[in-house]
Amino acid sequence: MKASNKKAVSVKGKKKPVVAVGRKKQTASLKTAATKRKQIVAAGRKKQAVVARPKVVAKKKQAAPARRKAASKAVQPQAQFDFLKAPAPIPDSKISKTIRTDVVVIGSALSGLSAARAALEAGAKVAVIEKSTDIVYRSSDIGVINCLIDKQIGNIVDPAEIVTVIQDYYHGRTNGELWRYWAENSGAAFDWWLSLIPGYKLVGEDFPIPSETTEVYVRVPHWPHPAPYEPAKEHYKIYTTAHQLMPDMGNALRIVYNKCVEMGGKFAFSTWARQLIRPNNKGRVRGVIAQDKAGNYIKYIARKGVVLCTGDYAGDPRMVERFCPAVAGLYTDWIFPNKDADGVTTQTGDGHKMGMWIGAQMERGPHAPVNHSIGGPLGTDSFLLVNVRGERFMNEDNDGQIFSNAIERQPKNQAFQIFDAKWKEQLECQGISHGMRNAVSSSAQIGVTGGWTSITTEEEVLAAAKTSDTLEGLAKELGLPVDAFLATIKRYNEMAHAGKDTDFYKRPDRLFPVETPPFYGGPTSTALLVVTSGLVVNARCNVCDDNFEPIPGLYAAGNAMGGRFSGEYALAAAGVSHGTALTFGRLAGQEAAKG
Ligand SMILES: Cc1cc2nc3c(=O)[nH]c(=O)nc-3n(C[C@H](O)[C@H](O)[C@H](O)COP(=O)(O)OP(=O)(O)OC[C@H]3O[C@@H](n4cnc5c(N)ncnc54)[C@H](O)[C@@H]3O)c2cc1C
């Protein structure tokens, strides 16, 4: 997963990510924000220190079930978190307009547009409420398996195998029925999308995609697999799931939006869903009350259902403290490009909150943050990493998310990727993990075609790295303690020559001595993109209450929906945040339309 790499705009001499929505390009550059990252991480660490500790309020002599309940409350001190308290219902006297429809979809991004289109195709009248000024999207990787393109290129994945690997990854805390559904239906959902775009162009990774175009290009990173890559020798299973819609998802999603409008979908932009309508928190969800930019309240009566496609909550620090404390304080708003019509980040967990207020169950933790790195100058390739102390800290050869997680736990959330003059030939024996590079191209165009590919260019690498003819000089360039750095290199080189990594067990054929000048090094850090956990749903995307009973008339998809991820984001199958938003958005729309 990555941010689009369209060029950042220069503001007062500094590079800043572009953060507009809709037709404006929605871009945030992971690569250009290293300095901002450092400040933010430092600020984040301070904030983390003030996360309140839960009060323990246990009563003696309670019956066993009651005692269990009290204990769980002690761990989850709801009272500290104001957002959990339902606001007073908006009275009818304040409603300026009532709209009656079959299905209301809240959110018009990937999951919401998929839900709206599916419900419209099922014959329902659909209204979509969106707090931004236009449709919302970011980036390009869609994780699906066995779509028509895969069949065409021979990229066939066994659903049973990938679901087992994913469930292992999450230690069984996710909903196996949902993953089976994704494995068996994500390819068809992607085909369904592309059926609206018959003129799409399937291109290779070395195809220079224009940055300004209305065409839709599709490419499959790391496909075909690089010749030296042998899956059987990999420690981490990696599946080729990501299908990139280029130059980003915008052109393709605009086509879905246009189709929804053509089918009669009614979109209200710059409109905030505020409260779900479920009198006394019993029975059906009957609709939603929204508010437009002028402050007018609009009541939407949904005869068949409401679908929450409101995205995640990473931008609400209190929600992160409560539900995803592992990344509390690590949020940065530069990486997430989308704002509502008031300029506030869209990822404020509105759907999660509105759902909980009317009795929906938030899934238990550990919730799953996507705290990502796209790596150093050579991506997440398995070159030597050192931390700010000049010390090595991990087996660098992994699936990409492990790369990020280990860096997140280092001082200052910071590492440096180190390599020498032989890096070009060493690229060829890398794996195909998320963010890995397998080849270098002489074409300067490759690096500017949008998204990243498994191919890099010399210009791109050198722009991200410091260079020196001596190791001591490189340490100074990177601001690392020279003695510690030299000691690390000495030890690493000894192990490389011996063909055995006795410190972290990296496989010998990816263990290269750093000894041929010039020497290179560049920074790599992490950024919290989203939190991919949400409300408990059943296999029909129907939101459930605390007793796991479906709440009639309420559905969720995308990051408002739970059951998909736990504690982690599985990069064995890259792009599945989008892939599940598409697949379950479609399912939620179909189910809501049934009423
Ligand atoms: C920089 C970046 C790059 C990424 N790259 C990838 C990638 O390549 N592959 C991948 O799988 N994942 C990627 N992700 C994660 C992925 O984008 C999201 O997890 C996914 O798109 C979530 O989709 P969604 O439809 O649930 O939510 P969103 O895309 O967040 O959409 C939610 C929508 O609901 C609207 N909304 C919210 N509350 C309200 C309200 N109260 N009223 C009205 N409207 C409301 C929002 O405005 C928004 O339009 C990336 C994330 C980031 C930040």
List every span in the chain annotated with CATH 3.50.50.60: 93-315+341-368+529-594
Those residues whose C-beta lies under 8 Å from the C-beta of residue 225, and which sit 6 or more positions away, are 231, 240, 432
Q: Is 574 in the pocket of ligand 1 (CB under 6 A)?
A: no
Asked if residues 26 and 250 have their Cβ atoms less than 8 Å apart, the reply is yes
Give, for ligand 1, the residue of 37, 577, 580 to mutate: max count of ligand atoms closer than 8 Å to Cβ: 577
Q: Is 132 in the pocket of ligand 1 (CB under 6 A)?
A: yes
Q: pTM (2 decimals)?
A: 0.88
List every span in the chain annotated with CATH 3.90.700.10: 374-525
- Specify burial of residue 40 (Cβ count, 10 A radius: 0-12, 13-18, 19+): buried
Q: Which CATH architecture has domain 374-525?
A: Alpha-Beta Complex (3.90)
CA of 280 to the centre of ligand 1 (A): 31
What is the spatial distance between Cα 534 and Cα 236, in angstroms, rounded to a whole number? 27
- Specify burial of residue 53 (Cβ count, 10 A radius: 0-12, 13-18, 19+): exposed
pLDDT in tens, the chain (595 residues): 433 333 332 323 333 333 233 333 343 333 333 334 333 333 333 333 323 333 333 333 333 343 334 334 444 555 689 999 999 999 999 999 999 999 999 999 999 999 999 999 999 999 999 999 999 999 999 999 999 999 999 999 999 999 999 999 999 999 999 999 999 999 999 999 999 999 999 999 888 888 788 999 999 999 999 988 999 999 899 999 999 999 989 999 999 999 999 999 999 999 999 999 999 999 999 999 999 999 999 999 999 999 999 999 999 999 999 999 999 998 888 899 999 999 999 999 999 999 999 999 999 999 999 999 878 999 999 999 999 999 999 999 999 999 999 999 999 999 999 999 999 999 999 999 999 999 888 765 654 456 678 998 898 899 999 999 999 999 999 999 999 999 999 999 999 999 999 999 999 999 999 999 999 999 999 999 999 999 999 999 999 999 999 999 999 999 999 999 999 898 999 999 999 999 999 999 999 999 9
Q: Is 119 in the pocket of ligand 1 (CB under 6 A)?
A: no
Q: How many CB atoms lie within 10 A of CB 583?
A: 29
Asked if residues 69 and 234 have their Cβ atoms less than 8 Å apart, the reply is no
Nearest CA to ligand 1 atom 37: 310
CATH no. of 93-315+341-368+529-594: 3.50.50.60
- Main-chain dihedrals φ then ψ at residue 337, nearest 5 degrees: -85, -15
